Structures are given as C-alpha cells and as structure tokens.
A and B are shown apart, each in its own frame.
Chain A
Amino acid sequence: MFFTKLTIRNIRTALLYIAVAFTLAACGGGDKTTGGVPSGGGGLTGAQFGCGSLDPAPATSDINAFCNEFWSQSNLQNNCATCHSDTASNPQEPLFVRSDNINQAYAEVLQPANSDPSKDIVDVNNPSQSYIIDQMLSGHHCWATPQVCADIVLTYIENWVGSSAGSSRTIQLTAPANSQPPGGGKEFPANATDSTDPSDPNITFEQIIYTPLLRQYCQDCHESGPGDPLFAGPDLTNSYILSQPRMNLDDPASSRYAIKLMTHTVACWNVDINDFHPDMQTEAMTRLTGDNCSDSSLAFELAIKRYAQFITSNAVDPSQFLISDATTIPDGIVAAGGARYEPNQIALYEFKSGQGSIAYDTSGAGTALDLSLNGGTIEWVGGWGIAINGQGDRAQSSSTNTKLYDLIQATGEYSVEAWVAPNNVTQENARIINYSGGGGDKNFALSQTMYNYNSQVRNANTDLMGEPPVSTLDADEVLQATLQHVVNTYDPVNGRQIYVNGELVASGDLQAGGSINNWSSTYSLVLGDERGANNDNNLWKGVIKMVSIHNRALNINQIQQNFTAGVGEKFFLLFDISHIQGVPAQSYIKFTVSQFDNYSYLFTDPTYVNLDLGVTSVNIPIRSMRIGVNSNQAPVGQAYYNLDTTITANNQLLSTIGTTVAAESGADQDEFYLIFEALGSESRNYAEPTYDPKPQSDLAPASAIGLRTFDEINATMSAMTGVSTQAVKSRYALVKQQLPADANINTFVTAHNIGLTQLAVEYCDVLVNDAAGGNTGTLFGNYDFSQPASAAFVNNTAKALIIDPLLEAANGYGMDAQMNTGNTFNEGGTVPDASGDTFTTKSELIYLIDNLCGGAGNCGATAAQTRLITKAVCTATIASANTLIQ
C-alpha cells in the first residue's frame, strides 16, 4: 500500500509539480532529546564506522547526527559505498557515503538528485519523499525486499533528523497536484467479472486486463514472486483487488501499470497489435513506437481505457452544493509525526508491507528478526497493522536469531513498546507480545487479562514463565478495547513497570532486582500467542499496529515522546477553496488524514492555510462544513456540521475535534472533498429530508385480565379481612418475592399460589384469633368461637355462618362475572368437575369443612378445631382467584 501511494505520488509530483511552496512548522514534533544515551541509533550493531575519530570531524551537531544515524549504518556502507564513495573502484555521484570527508558526504546527501531534480537525495523535511527512498523502492541495490530497504533507510533518516539537536523539521506544503472538482471519479465494478459496457458482456477486468495482459506478461514475476505484489496469480479476485490501485479509470495513462512499464523498464515485451482489444487497435496503430516498453505501457493504457470507457461518473453539482475541490490520500503530503525516541531500538515492526506472510523488522539493528505470520485468520489491516483473529494466528520469529537475547543480556534491561487495540476486555492470559519458548516458558511477555495489562519477565525472582506478573489495577480498567500505546519496561532496580498512553500505571515490582541471566537464547518473539500454540488458551485477539523493542528501560519522558509521535501514516490533505467567491486565491482547508483502520479514515485538525506567504489576515465566513467521499456527503461522522466562525488568519485551526468517516473504495481510490453551507460570500441551503414516524406493528392480542401483584395482593387481603398489613408484615416480607411482580397473566406460576396461600393463612390466623378473642368488629361479628366444632359445623346452615361473611368479603355480590349472583351464595356459578358432579363455591367450602372434620358429622368437640377450620375456610376463600386476578 505504502509503496503504491509513494510511487503514484512521486510520479504525479514529477509530472505535475506545482512550484508553490509554503513552509509550515512541523506538527506534533516531540522533543529531540537523545537522553544522554550513547547514540548508536538503530545501528546498535550497525554503527561499525565510528564517527568520533573521523578527520575532518563532523562540523555541526546535525552532521554528527547524520554520521551516527545514517552514514555509519552498515547497510549503507556495505551496499552503497561500492559506488557512492570515494573508496569505490568506480565512484559514482553522489558520493554520499564517502569516507574521506563526512562534511562533504553530508552536503552531497542534501543535494537534488541528478535524475529527478525535484527531489533531494535525502529530504530532511519530508523523509519519505527522499529520492533515496524512491531508489530503495525500485530495488536499487537493495539487500532485502524493496519495501523493507525503503523502510530501513527511512528509519535511518528519521533517526538522524529526530536526534539532531536543534534541528527543526519543517514540512513543505504544496498545492495538490490533482486538485479537481469532486465527483467524476469513475468507480470500479464490484466484481472482476462484471462488464463495464452495457452492450458488451465481455468488457470485464478478467477479459480485458487479467487474462490477456497480467497473466500473459506479468506472471513470471508477479504470480509467486520475486515481484511484489502478486497481482498476476491464479486468484482472479485477489488480482482484481491488487490491480485497482494500479489502474486509473479517469486517466488510464496515469495508471501505475502503464507508468511502471514506461519508466522502470520492467518486463516489457515485444508488443503485437493483437495485444490490443479490437476496439482500440486503430488508436494503437497510430501510437505504437516500436519501443517495447513504450508499447507495453500503451497496451495497458488502452486496455484500461477500453475497460473504463462506459463507466459513468457522478459529478457533484456546484450550483447545488458549495464545495471545495477534491483530493485523495495519494495526493496528500506525508505528515511526518513527531520524532520517536529510538536510540536503543533493537527491533521494530511497523507492518508497512500490508501483504505477504512476513512482518519485517525494520529497525536496521543487527540481523533482522522478521516474523512469519501463521494461522488462517491473521490479516493485514489498513493504515499499517495486523489483526489476530482466531486460533492458530500469531506472528513468530525464528528461534535461531538471538538478536533480542544478545542485545538485552548486554544491558540487563529492556522495553517492549506497542500500539495495540484489543478486540475485547474479556480475554484472559492472552499473550500480546511474547518472547516465548512454548508451553508457557518465556523470557518476557506483555499480556492481557480482561481490563489489565500484565508484564511477565523471567529473572532470578520469578519462575520460568515470568510469574508472578506485574499487572495494572483491576479498578483502573486501563485496558480498553481501543488503540492504546502500551510499554512494558524492565530494569533491575525498578523491575517491571507498565505505561499506558504515556502514563505509568503499574510499578512497585515485588520481584525487582533479579538477574535475567536465566533467559534462554533459543526462544522466539511471538505476537498473539505462545510459541507454536494452536489452541485458545493464550490466544490474544486484536490489532497490533506497531511493536518496538528497546534494550534499555525507557523513562517516562521518552515514552511520552513516543506516545505523542503516534503511529501509522498520516497525510496533509489540502482542499482547494479558492474558487469560491470571497475566498482569497491559494486558499485551502488542510486536514490531517490517516487511515484509521481497514474501514475508516481519521480526519483531524482542520486548518485554513493560504499558500501565499504574503497573506496573513483574511476575512472568510465559514459555516457548516461536511466531508464528502466519492461524490456524496459521508452519511455518518460529520463533526464540523456546527462549525460557524470567521477565518481571520492564515493557519487558523478551525476545530479541535476529529472524526472518522467510513472508507469506501480504499485509501488509494477514495476521493474526498468538503461541502459548506456558507463560505466566503457564497452559501447554499440544504434541506433535511422528511422523516415519517416509525410504523408501529400490532402486538399479539392480550388478555383483558391480569394478576394482582405483590403489594396489591397484600393490600387486598388486608381489605378483605380487615386485618392491618402491619399485623402480617413479617410473613409478607418472607413471601413478597414469591408473589407476582408482573400483572401479565401469562407470567402466572404455581409458586405464586403457594405464596398467596401462605399469606392468606397469616391474615386468617390474625383475623380468627382476633374474632375469637372477643373483637366483634371483625367480619364474623359476634360469632361464638368458643363452641366446639361439632356444634359450629353441625349442619350447612351453621357452616354458612362462617362461609357467607367470608364469601361476601372476598367476592362481593351483585356481579355476574363473579362466582355468585345473589347474596345467599347458594346459586349460580356452577361448573362440572371431571366426574360430572357440579359444585358451587359454597358447597366446595362445605366439603372442605367436612373433609377437615374427617367427614360430615365427625367434627370434633373442641373450640380449637372450630377456629382451625375457620382459618382454613378463610384461607381457601381469600387466597382465591378473586384475590389473585383482577
């Protein structure tokens, strides 16, 4: 990805460079401290060419930094000095690694390149734009893959610039090369087999580009290597994805496929007219030159032209929308982050390659400790990073490379620094970065346990698994499922310490002071798991965007410097607004944009800039700014909607708020523009759509009756019996939770019945005891509870003296829907039981009395039994459906 962007940008810049430059103070720059540590930079093992004894000595501190961080690196001395040094058998300009005069070498490296005067050999203000980086990307005397060489050299440059005391990095803002009205961008069809021509089903990527060109002429290198990327492999879909950034549908001649053949003279072939689609052969005849590379380039150009011929574009209507010009990330200016503190960095993984199965160590220190990506679901993520998604996924180094062991044993301390985004806060004992021997043994590990980061290190005071660990505090919940900067440091004095987002969050290691001599040199650096594991026991799921290992314990200032420097690739996108009335010429809204992850872009720091240095004050009203993506306003994530201010000065920051907007076609394809409600002296009105109320759907028919709930039952029983709720409150407290809490009749369970009956027993107990105690104010009036049961229940009339008041209290009368229709309780409401007999409520209660007596006429001779049976009848009555149901 990075490769593509850089190259496209470089080429466009070379062709269309607009000589308008504006110097802006570097943003986000960390301090340039070197912390007093001997400056060996990434070249801890690479700085083999001492700078201290040179004659002449470096004349300035910056030349000294150049010497230490760039010139002395063995990769450059070994690979560049064979030509670009005075010691070469056939010295070739520029002699930027010459050994006779370091000050001359410094001067030469800052010169424009002979073959591309628009670029310096090294651009200290914008290191990634250096000509030497382009050369590395082209594979020029590269000792690894082009991307890795470029990354390593970039690291050298950044270390040089970052460590140079007093150096002030500036970024050249230039007008975007391809600024144009938004929309109009042709978009790729969804599939490689979709035709772009309504009248011809054969105008597909597969039939126009893949089969006749890529598979035929690029296969040798780009099917399985050594060419990179592998866009000519057998997987059509993969080829389509990889090819889209390399085909410019709006300007086929600018397609990377065409330019690469034209300028890099790779794999050109002897072109035949049959290499062109019949529709394009006439044009081809007029343009073929006989030069293989020129004609090969033409074959791609015209194939892409034919493919794109009938794809329509969606231009944005400027009369309807007040819009800036559009730009893209490839047209952006690389926004160098602040300098990182890396003098003792011994391994660095930035995941810039974005493809393949290796995560390269681009620290430039020692033998690169590259990581192999294992597992079926591990994947690269946009904006540099890898995602570990499932069992077996991990990135693992060789166990034979002892760089980490050697360099950390030499100092006895280390720091593991990473930008990570855990998938969740539920995973436990999950290994994020693990110097692992497998089976739990390890030299060190950074792990996650729910909301905590853990640090394990094997030393004299811990076991072979580095336990007990030091962890962040549970209550702090510092680990969040979002991108975080985490650093584990270890030194003998302080032991393990954990820093998250620049703050020390765990310290006080009880196992501090132990020697790490018991480390094993045969372990592997593993991201995401234990070495060789293939289970879920220690799998960590999440995204890793950068890993850096240092053989010193970083201090808090250094850690904060690296936290501030951030992670990932950032660009300045300049949105041209100078065509709007009332806006001065050369006016732009500048955003800092980065690919946030696979699915979105981060837009921050909207700033008004005018590239005319003479413009210092302006007066530009601006209201309601929105971000557009590919001809449409991004539907979600508009954070500048409420912007309403007046721009009065150059470099005026418009908002401190940042926002994310969804990616659509990918960072190389998506086109951005800005929409305004008012800007300068122009304005537009944008009507909100009409929103109808959400339709409401019917629910299932519901019962017209329901349950009385707990308090209602209690109050109802109190009302029926005349007994105060206070008299039964201890019992009620016990059964309260057993009574219905919801009136929905479908929630009825038999446990409700038991609770209901228990509560009724309590009310009836109090009621009958009260009445038997002589209180004539109860519903039993002056009933004689001193009579024996045999007398009290001698016949049905006698029984009714108990039953009738209870039924009246519980049921009322005069209600057809109730169990009784009259006030004698002898009629109505009958229902057959299973045997066919019919009952009334009253007769049921009579049977209850008889049953409790042991049969009709068998009632005992005690008053106690009278009271007991009365309580039973009372309970059966007030615990009835008439209480439970309303």
Chain B
Amino acid sequence: MRFKSIIKVVLFSYILLGVTSANAVTERDKFKRIHDRIAGIHPDEATLQAMENACTSGYTDDNGINHPGGAVGSAQCYEAASYVAIDNPRFYNTTLKNMVAPWTNEAQSVVEPLNDYSATIIGIVRDNLDFRRILTDNIIYTVGNQVVTNRNENLASPRAPYSGIATFSPSSNQHYIDAENNDVDLEAYLARTTQSSALGIPANAAAGIMTTRAAAKAFYIDGTNRAMFRFTILNHFCNDLEFYKDGTRPSDRIRQDVSRSPGGDSRIYLNNCIGCHAGMDGLAGAFAYYNYEYDPDVDPDAPNGLNNGIMSYKQNFDPEPFTGHGHKYLINAENFKWGYETTDDSWVNYWRNGPNINIGWDINNANLPASGNGAASLGAELANTNDFASCQVKKVFKTVCLRSPVNQADRDQVASITSNFISGSYNLKRAFVDSANYCLTPSALY
C-alpha cells in the first residue's frame, strides 16, 4: 500500500513534467540541460549558479584553459557554462565511460565494466589530446594513487594503483573493475603511460585502443582478426561494413578462408562476400601479428576479469597452428587455395578508390601512402578520414542530444561541429560543447 502510494506520486511527477515542459524555456533550464546531458546528473543550486556565473564572467577549466563567456544566450556563454559540467567528475565516470563502453565489447553492451580501452579514451579526452591518437598512439591510462594535476604528465610506467584496487595487469581487467566499483574519480586519478611499458609490447606495436587488452579480448579472440577491423569501423566510422560494400575493388587480397562458392553457389560470393572482403581483407592485414592469448579452460567471460588472457603481439609472421599468430590468417586455407596467403602484417587500402572515396581519406593532407605495415599506420589511415571525425561527433551529438541527427538541419550541424572538431585539434570536448549548444536551441526541440 505504501509502495503503491509512492509509485503514484512518482507517476504523477511524469504527468506534471509533461505538461510543464511545454512552458517557456528559461536560461536556467538550458544550464540544467547542459549539465544533465554532459555530466549526466542533476545540478544542484550551487552548480547552476556557477554555470550562470561562467556564462557571463567566464570560466577557467580544470585543464587551466579560460573560456571567457559572453552575453547571456551567446555561444560563448554556453561554452563557458558547458565546461563547468565537463569538469564534473561524472562527465568522465558516467557520461564518457558509458559512451565508450559499447565500443569495447562485441555485444556492444553499455553495461560493460571499465577497462583499458574506455579508460584510455576517457584519459585522452580529459587531457585534451588529439583524438586521432586513439587509433595510433602508444598510450594507455591506468588508475593511479595520486591526483593528476599536470595533464601533460606521461609516466614511464603505470603508477601505483589507487588505494584498495588491484594493480594494473596485462592479463586481467581487475584493476579497472575495482576502480569502477569504488567509484574512483577518473578525472583526478587516471594516469597516462605507454602500452609498451604496461602491456609489454614493442612501442611500434601499439596502436591506441586497437591494442588494448579489452579490444584484444573482444576482437582478437580466436577467429581471423577481421573482427578488429569491423568493429573499429563500426565504432569509429559509425557504419557497419555493409555500408561500405564495394565488390568492384580488386579481389587479390581476399584470404584463402573465404569460400568463393558458399554452399556451391558462387553468386553469394560475387554479390555479397566480395563486397566487404575485397576492402576489408586488404586493410585487416595490419593485425596479422596480434592475438588474444588466453587459457581456454578459463571462461573468457568470467565475471570480475578472472581469466588470464593477454593482448599478445609477435613480430614476424608465424604460421604455426596453435602457437603462431599468423595461423589465424591461414585457417581453412583449402577453402580457396588461390586466395591471398598472408605472409606479413602489410595492409593496403583499396577503398581509397571507388564509392568509398567518400570516406574522405587523408583529409589532413599528410600524404598518407594508403598502405603500410602494422596496426598503427592503419590507425593513422583510418583516423585521418572525414568519416572518423564525423563519427566521433555523431556519437557525442547522440550522447548530448539523446538522438541521432534526424534531418538536414541536424546533419548540417554535425558537419559544422565536425569541422570545428578537426580544426580544434581533434579535442573531443569541443564536440560536447558544440552539441550542447545546438541542442539547447528551440529548433532542435521536437
């Protein structure tokens, strides 16, 4: 009876909100919305006051950057107010973590524990780093035992862990699970270091999140390593492979394991399989030296990260079954023995031509060669595309506006925010600020 009474009041609140939300929008409402969407939590009175003050008087954020503010209602006003929300630890612990969590697992579940993939993204955003580094850099963040005051700090090895949580280990996620369970302030305690020191891989093997343990566990586990390419595209180009299907590209890099006549019907291959594999197999060659090595007798999905798998890298191509990383590039070779036989970690980008020219390659005019060896150079190829930049903005837009771009006005806005993101040195906070600003305006309300 009592519970029912409470529920009745709760439901009543929805009715009331529905009616009153049609009322005129005040500046306070806008600040509250900015805070709700960026920090994820309801602002208290003091926070709202701080945002109002930042709006007109400016605000110096936790990175020490001043945002001068402006007239009430101006973009500068909302930018300064937005940084108040960005400096709330919940922006990192909640909003960013949950935005990134689906990228880090094959099921794309948002209810995924914090891990080295998501922590590294959070750290890169916190430190205002070039977001392209998520696909290229020898970088990882762990949860240290000191508040990080210098956001340029880059440690030679992982810092001692936050009190009460497991030490970082390349063979366990417990460190991050503990940090999440203890609700450790990630903005304060995430410490930057190198994958080469933390994971024990060569520096040139590191390629941002593509070489984190979480990504390896999700996308290098078993199989043929194509999953790493597909999910990198899915998560960072915002389209699955079907979107990029192009059967007109050269088929000479399609590996031997792809049947050219599935079930005895080669139309399936010629009309479907080749569309993705022609481009993908050439690009995914970059991952030939990577593997997720784990004890198959330990459940890889065991709770609390108990399995002991590691992101493993072995230089040089080793085709030996079971032990050689290259073996997963040669399995089922008899499916089509005239297919491409992998011998190294070279990759080539056939999507530079054809319909996928519209991905917008090498947009920063760095004369990238469209081919190379290893994951880091592939990461640079992928990160320097318009689709990469646009995708990051779309994800932020959805996080802030709670919807995908739905019409031309939205798409134009995403293009504009993308342009700002690129010209703003790929600082993802810029996309949060711009998106928050856009979704305040009445035209974005439906």
Type the 1/0 row for A73-105, where 1 means its CB is closer than 8 Å to any CB of B. 000000000000000000000000000000000
- Residues facing A in B260-307 (CB within 8 A) are 260-267, 269-271, 274
Number of interface residues of A (CB under 8 A): 111
Segment at the interface with A among B141-149, B208-216, B246-254: B246-254
Q: What 0/1 pattern do residues 53 to 75 of A give for CB contact below 8 A with B?
A: 00000000000000000000000
Interface residues of B in 308-364 (CB under 8 A from A): 332, 334-341, 353-355, 357-358
Spot the interface stretch: A180-188, A266-274, A706-714: A706-714
Q: Does A244 contact B (CB under 8 A)?
A: no
Closest CB of chain A to B178's CB: distance in Å?
12
Q: Is B42 a contact of A716 with CB atoms below 8 Å?
A: yes
Indicate if the CB atoms of B9 and A599 lie closer than 8 Å: no
Q: Which chain B positions have C-beta within 8 A of A480?
A: 259, 332, 335
**Contacting pair B94 A845 (CB below 8 A):** no
Contact pattern, A 760-775, Cβ under 8 Å of B = 1, otherwise 0: 0000000000000000
- Of the candidates B20, B36, B439, which one forms a contact with A829 in the assembled complex, judged by CB atoms under 8 Å apart? B20
Judge if A165 is at the interface, Cβ distance under 8 Å.
no
Roughly how many angstroms separate A741 CA and B99 CA in the complex, as a whole number?
Answer: 11
The reply on A852 being an interface residue by CB < 8 A is: yes
A255 within 8 A of B: no
With contact pairs A709-B98, A886-B37 given, residues A501 and B334 touching in the complex (Cβ less than 8 Å)? yes
Q: Which residues of B contact A814 (CB under 8 A)?
A: 26, 28, 48
CB of B94 within 8 A of CB of A482, answer: no
A331 → chain B closest CB, angstroms? 23
Contact A808 B45 (CB under 8 A): yes
Pick the residue among A387, A736, A813, A818 that contacts B111 (CB under 8 A).
Answer: A736
A737-B111 contact given A704-B445, A817-B25, A882-B42, CB 8 Å threshold: yes
In the assembly, what is the distance between CA of A657 and CA of B252, in Å?
7
Complex Cα–Cα for A716 and B43 (A) = 8
A872 and B28 CA atoms in complex are apart in Å by: 29
Q: Is the CB of B111 within 8 A of A715?
A: no
Answer whether residue B181 sits at the interface, using C-beta atoms and an 8 A cutoff.
Answer: yes
The B interface is mostly helix, strand or loop, or mixed, namely: helix
Residues of A788-809 at the interface with B, using a CB-CB cut-off of 8 Å, are 808-809
Docked Cα-Cα span, A719 to B88, in Å, equals: 11
C-alpha spacing A708/B94, complex, angstroms: 11
B407 close to A (CB within 8 Å) = yes
Q: Which residues of B contact A691 (CB under 8 A)?
A: 354-355, 357-358
Q: How far is the CB of B110 from chain A (nearest CB, A)?
A: 5
Stretch at the interface among A281-289, A306-314, A419-427: A419-427
Tell which of B11-19, B153-161, B186-194, B377-385 binds the partner.
B11-19
CB B400 to nearest CB in A, in angstroms, measures 10
Residues on A with beta carbons closer than 8 Å to the beta carbon of B171: none
Do A726 and B261 touch across chains, with their CB atoms under 8 A apart? no
Q: Is the CB of B36 within 8 A of A886?
A: yes
Task: Annotate B35-68 by CB proximity to A: 1 below 8 A, 0 otherwise.
Answer: 0110011111100100000000000000000000
Interface assignment of B33: CB less than 8 Å from any CB of chain A: yes
The verdict on A597 contacting B265 (CB below 8 Å), with A691-B355, A715-B94, A879-B10 known, is yes
A831 touches B15 (CB 8 A): yes
What are the 4 closest A-B residue pairs judged by CB atoms, nearest first? Answer: A658-B338, A543-B264, A482-B259, A706-B402
Q: List 9 A-B contacts (CB under 8 A).
A: A421-B263, A421-B264, A482-B335, A602-B260, A691-B357, A753-B11, A815-B28, A816-B23, A886-B36
List chain B positions with a Cβ less than 8 A from chain A.
Answer: 2-3, 5-17, 19-21, 23-26, 28-29, 32-33, 36-37, 40-45, 48, 90, 93-95, 97-98, 110-111, 181-183, 243, 247-248, 250-252, 259-267, 269-271, 274, 332, 334-341, 353-355, 357-358, 401-408, 411, 439, 444-446
Chain A residues within CB distance 8 Å of chain B: 381, 385, 387, 421-424, 480-484, 501-502, 541-543, 596-600, 602, 604, 635-642, 655-662, 688, 691-694, 696, 698-706, 708-712, 715-716, 718-720, 724-726, 729, 736-737, 741-745, 753, 756-757, 808-810, 812-819, 829, 831, 839, 841, 844-845, 848, 851-852, 872, 875-877, 879-886
